[in-house]
């Protein structure tokens, strides 16, 4: 697996990817760092290898373009886009379609994916949508405020509870610094109420229980989502007919009000929002909107919803993650293409096992992992006890 990944990306790719160039950051590789992140990261690496190697072994048309693009553009957005594209290609292939990666459009330039099954010929344009600039700035400000409070905790031996401001100004820093110093000197509780946020500082180390919450983030991402879809619609006009697939990477899930809606409500909302897009761009046959992979408290709660002009699914993925997918078509449906899009979403949990089977791992992830052996035991004067030594099996 390691040899295949190094062969695909090239020996110097990771070195380039983790070193920003001209302010452009490479992909975050922490989720693939199995020695630090545990079994979940190992499963993520297996999924990365399986989707790429399956396409290589199948001699999928266009996989060379995919490889060249990944090697030449080791930046976060490109990485996320092409990995999502590779997964969709595998999902389409295991659904029985012939696949072409980055097919040419009639008027020139590449598309993202073409999947042909029986008489259904799907031209698919993919977009991944991450957090916007304002949300990234908000996150940075929250991180700065929390880091400043941690400095004061270590300096004065205090801890906090309460709310963080929308922006940690110099006035706020001065106020919380004075409060921390006073709390430590007088062994007293001190309250700071500033900029619609109230913080309480108490004597005693942070381990005694620091609990702070950031300001509530609220923003309507609907217009941004529609702008992204319109841009893709314009880009695909020369294709004749196209599907748009938008995979959310933190813009809508989990923070927007839309993400809190039920699946039927999500399907209805998306259908109503997309009618103007379908009217303005007759070549767009349908839209698929999916969440990113999400952690869930109770895996296995799969849901199917069939609406008037769309379907929605919640699926538990390998490793216990979950994804929600919504498929909406225009008023004049193309049944074969619509069915392929819906099947790719509904059957997503199966693609990894089928890809691994084709790669010679018939038992899937279970064949690549074993439960840790029980602790070795040793004799002592008190009888048989677990050993404190690590003994490799």
Q: What is the pTM of this model?
A: 0.78
- The mean pLDDT value of the chain amounts to 85
Is the four-CA dihedral 73, 77, 83, 84 of positive or negative sign? negative
- At 327-349, the pLDDT tens digits run 999 987 789 999 999 999 999 99
**Mean pLDDT value across residues 295-308:** 77
Instruction: Tell me the Cα Rg of the chain.
Output: 25
The three-class DSSP label of residue 290 is: strand
The three-class DSSP label of residue 59 is: coil
Q: What percent of the chain has pLDDT over 90?
A: 42
Give the Cα separation of 58 and 131 in Å (integer). 35
Query: Taking the mean position of all CA atoms in its chain, how far away is CA 130?
Result: 9
Question: Is pLDDT larger for residue 312 or for residue 111?
Answer: 312
Which range has highest mean pLDDT (41-45, 50-54, 260-264)?
Answer: 50-54
| Numbers of helices and strands, H then E, in the chain | 13, 15
Residue 390 reports pLDDT greater than 60: no
When pLDDT is cut at 50, 70 and 90, the band that residue 263 belongs to is very high
**Mean pLDDT value across residues 238-256:** 85
The residues spanned by each domain of the chain are: 1-95+347-393, 115-127+231-246+255-344, 134-213
Reported as half-sphere exposure (CB side, CA atoms, 13 A), residue 77 has a value of 8
């Amino acid at each position: 697996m390691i040899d295949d990944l190094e062969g695909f990306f090239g020996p110097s790719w990771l070195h380039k990817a983790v070193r920003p160039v001209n302010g452009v950051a490479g992909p975050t590789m922490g989720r693939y760092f199995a020695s630090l992140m545990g079994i979940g990261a190992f499963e993520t690496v297996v999924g990365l290898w399986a989707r790429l190697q399956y396409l290589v072994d199948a001699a999928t048309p266009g996989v060379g373009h995919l490889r060249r693009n990944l090697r030449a553009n080791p930046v976060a957005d490109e990485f996320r886009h092409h990995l999502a594209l590779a997964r969709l290609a595998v999902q389409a292939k295991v659904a029985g379609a012939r696949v072409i990666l980055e097919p040419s459009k009639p008027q020139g330039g590449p598309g993202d994916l073409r999947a042909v099954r029986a008489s259904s010929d799907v031209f698919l344009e993919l977009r991944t949508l991450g957090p916007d600039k304002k949300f990234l700035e908000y996150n940075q400000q929250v991180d700065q405020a929390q880091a400043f409070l941690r400095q004061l905790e270590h300096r004065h031996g205090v801890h906090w509870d309460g709310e963080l401001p929308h922006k940690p100004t110099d006035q706020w820093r001065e106020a919380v610094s004075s409060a921390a110093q006073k709390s430590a000197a007088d062994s007293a509780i001190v309250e700071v109420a500033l900029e619609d946020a109230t913080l309480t500082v108490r004597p005693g180390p942070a381990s005694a229980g620091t609990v702070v919450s950031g300001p509530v983030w609220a923003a309507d991402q609907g217009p941004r989502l529609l702008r992204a879809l319109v841009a893709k619609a314009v880009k695909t006009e020369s294709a004749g007919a196209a599907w748009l697939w938008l995979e959310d990477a933190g813009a809508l899930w989990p923070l927007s009000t839309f993400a809190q809606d039920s699946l039927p409500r999500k399907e209805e909302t998306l259908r109503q929002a997309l009618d103007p897009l379908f009217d303005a761009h007759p070549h767009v046959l349908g839209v698929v909107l999916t969440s990113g992979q999400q952690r869930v408290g109770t895996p296995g709660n799969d849901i199917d919803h069939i609406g008037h002009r769309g379907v929605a699914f919640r699926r538990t993925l390998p490793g216990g993650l979950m994804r929600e997918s919504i498929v909406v078509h225009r008023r004049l449906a193309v049944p074969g293409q619509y069915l392929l899009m819906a099947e790719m979403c509904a059957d997503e949990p199966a693609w990894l096992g089928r890809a691994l089977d084709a790669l010679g791992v018939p038992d899937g992830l279970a064949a690549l992992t074993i439960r840790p052996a029980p602790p070795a035991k040793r004799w002592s004067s008190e009888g048989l006890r677990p050993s404190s030594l690590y003994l490799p099996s």
